[in-house]
């Protein structure tokens, strides 16, 4: 009879344990499964098929999908295979596809997403088992076993607030990823312009090297005819040496720009790159920066024959600034940090309320079978008010710090955007002056100086000076055109738009 009661008691204890485990942990498991599925979908780049199955206490905003992994495979391919010349959009896309910095930021985002199911899940069940050893060998009493299960349950709302903190941190990590993409795209676009300037500078150098050789031949023939001194031919030789020195410097600059671009592409420094285009296209215009009516004539004058005139954006107004800054990932990250701070303050307030532990067990030491099953509750008694007040004060201070940082960042980005718009306008005006005034004047001056030298009206110094000035102005034109593209890329970046890509 005693043995039968022991077996029945153990069966009852096992059933109670199973029921308590299922009843207490079921909701938490559902919340963890739903949140984990949403996190996995976002981190792997696939949109969730439906709303995540979360507990009523923890309903997260669906995380924005992260791009799919796999940069290592992209790095094994030649990003410019079959390309005759570099293209800005292709360069930017290749950098965004291959650069390991983005992979590091993406993995940091995934890690932040993985915090949500950890923060919103219930604590583990606690299982306790006790036995009276002497009862096992006794013939007068039954075996005395005690089984107890305890499920800690945070105060209602605590897990939801923890989840909000985790999601806000994940939002900040996502925006850090977007900010990294923006920085890399801007750097790639600027390096594209550096390569263009280096190639065109070498082209100008080569052209004027040939021109100087022609002038040197003219000076020699006139020297042999006794019309000029030997100094004219020697001066041409000095200028040719100067061009050779400049060419060595320009070739080094081209190699440095190529090394920097290959570094962004995660390639060997000396990996071959296609040549840059012969001419740059019209500068891309960031959204919201429409051409001013008064600037269209300047833009048309700035265009080379056969080219579309580059658009000239006007200075953005206050409302346009606010709208443009909404796309800046740095500002969205600051907003996420403020949201995290607000949730942490609410969580610190919730710490003044007691957590609950649901307890169930089976006490085989009780003589009466009706007294053996037990259920109950235990409460945390929040008496350490000083510690909780300090935690609340810390959370409030961190929130105010996040708000102040957000305000400072917004002011900084406002100034950067206004400055970028002003620099675009300045670059376009400089390009117009170089093309409309300096370049025609320098060409006319060289033609006049050459004609005067051949007729004996000017000395060779004036001809060399005119040739040198034309070389500098032609190079200034290419640099001014590249500056327009650079300033346009910086303006797009200031608006939170990836420069160089079709929009």
DSSP structure string for 181-204: HHHHHHHHHHHHHHHHHHHHHHHH
Instruction: Please give the pLDDT value at position 323.
Output: 76
168's tokens? 């806000």
Q: Virtual CA dihedral for 22, 26, 32, 37, nearest 10 degrees?
A: 110
Residue 5 lies inside a defined structural domain of this protein = no
Residue 503 lies inside a defined structural domain of this protein = no
Instruction: Judge whether 246 and 205 are in contact, CB under 8 Å.
Output: yes
Q: Where are the beta strands (DSSP E) in 269-363?
A: 356-363
CA–CA gap between residue 51 and residue 319 (Å, rounded): 35
Domain that holds residue 264: 12-53+85-494
| CATH number of the domain enclosing 326 | 1.20.1600.10
Residue 385 lies inside a defined structural domain of this protein = yes
180's tokens? 């990294």
DSSP structure string for 375-439: EEEEE-----HHHHHHHHHHHHHHHHHHHHHHHHHHHHHHHHHHHHHHHHHHHHHHHHHIIIIIH
CA–CA gap between residue 442 and residue 448 (Å, rounded): 10
Instruction: Judge whether 442 and 470 are in contact, CB under 8 Å.
Output: yes
147's tokens? 């089984």
The count of structural domains within the chain is 1
Instruction: Judge whether 32 and 58 are in contact, CB under 8 Å.
Output: no
Identify the helix (H) or strand (E) that includes residue 160: helix 158-224
Residue 64 lies inside a defined structural domain of this protein = no
Instruction: Please give the pLDDT value at position 282.
Output: 52
CA–CA gap between residue 344 and residue 296 (Å, rounded): 52
Instruction: Please give the pLDDT value at position 281.
Output: 64
Residue 2 lies inside a defined structural domain of this protein = no
- What are the per-10-residue average pLDDT scores of the chain (503 residues)? 47 46 43 46 43 39 49 65 87 93 94 94 92 79 86 94 96 96 94 94 91 82 73 80 92 95 93 89 43 35 41 54 82 96 96 93 83 90 91 96 96 92 94 94 91 78 87 92 94 90 58
125's tokens? 């069940």
Instruction: Please give the pLDDT value at position 150.
Output: 95
158's tokens? 């605590």
CA–CA gap between residue 209 and residue 244 (Å, rounded): 8
Instruction: Judge whether 399 and 347 are in contact, CB under 8 Å.
Output: no
Residue 71 lies inside a defined structural domain of this protein = no
Instruction: Please give the pLDDT value at position 2.
Output: 46
At a CB cut-off of 8 Å and minimum separation 6, what does 380 contact? 354, 355, 356, 357
Residue 7 lies inside a defined structural domain of this protein = no
Residue 70 lies inside a defined structural domain of this protein = no
CA–CA gap between residue 471 and residue 477 (Å, rounded): 10
């Amino acid at each position: 009879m005693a043995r039968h009661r022991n077996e029945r008691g153990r069966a009852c204890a096992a059933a109670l344990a199973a029921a308590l485990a299922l009843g207490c942990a079921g909701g938490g498991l559902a919340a963890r499964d739903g949140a984990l599925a949403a996190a996995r979908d976002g981190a792997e780049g696939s949109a969730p098929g439906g709303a995540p199955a979360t507990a009523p206490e923890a309903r997260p905003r669906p995380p924005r999908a992260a791009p799919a992994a796999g940069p290592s495979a992209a790095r094994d391919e030649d990003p410019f295979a079959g390309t005759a010349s570099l293209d800005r959009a292709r360069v930017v896309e290749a950098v965004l596809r291959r650069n390991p910095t983005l992979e590091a930021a993406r993995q940091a985002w995934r890690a932040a997403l993985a915090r949500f199911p950890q923060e919103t899940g219930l604590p583990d069940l606690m299982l306790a088992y006790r036995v009276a050893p002497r009862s096992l060998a006794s013939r007068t009493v039954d075996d005395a076993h005690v089984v107890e299960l305890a499920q800690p349950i945070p105060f209602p709302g605590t897990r939801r607030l923890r989840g909000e903190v985790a999601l806000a941190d994940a939002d900040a990590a996502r925006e850090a990823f977007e900010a990294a993409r923006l920085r890399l795209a801007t750097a790639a676009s600027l390096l594209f312009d550096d390569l263009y300037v280096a190639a065109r500078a070498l082209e100008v150098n080569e052209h004027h090297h040939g021109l100087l050789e022609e002038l040197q031949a003219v000076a020699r023939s006139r020297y042999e005819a006794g019309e000029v001194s030997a100094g004219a031919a020697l001066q041409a030789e000095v200028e040719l040496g100067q061009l050779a020195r400049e060419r060595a410097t320009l070739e080094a600059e081209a190699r440095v720009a190529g090394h920097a671009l290959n570094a962004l592409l995660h390639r060997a420094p000396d990996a071959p790159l296609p040549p840059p285009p012969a001419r740059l296209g019209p500068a891309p215009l960031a959204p919201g920066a429409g051409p001013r009516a008064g600037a269209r004539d300047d833009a048309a004058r700035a265009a080379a024959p056969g080219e579309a005139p580059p658009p000239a954006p006007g200075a953005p107004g206050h409302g346009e600034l606010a709208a443009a800054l909404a796309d800046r990932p740095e500002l969205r990250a600051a907003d996420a940090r403020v949201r995290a701070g607000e949730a942490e303050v609410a969580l610190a307030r919730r710490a003044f309320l007691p957590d609950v532990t649901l307890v169930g067990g089976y006490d085989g030491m009780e003589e009466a079978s009706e007294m053996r099953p037990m259920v109950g509750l235990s409460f945390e008694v929040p008496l350490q008010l000083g510690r909780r007040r300090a935690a609340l004060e810390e959370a409030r201070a961190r929130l105010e710090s996040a708000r102040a940082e957000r305000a400072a960042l917004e002011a900084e980005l406002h100034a950067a955007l206004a400055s970028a718009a002003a620099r675009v306008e300045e670059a376009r005006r400089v390009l117009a002056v170089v093309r409309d005034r300096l370049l025609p004047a320098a060409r006319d001056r060289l033609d006049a100086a050459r004609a005067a030298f051949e007729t004996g009206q000017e000395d060779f110094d004036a001809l060399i000076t005119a040739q040198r000035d034309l070389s500098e102005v032609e190079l200034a034109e290419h640099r001014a055109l590249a500056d327009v593209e650079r300033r346009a890329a910086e303006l797009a970046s200031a608006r939170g738009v990836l420069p160089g890509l079709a929009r």
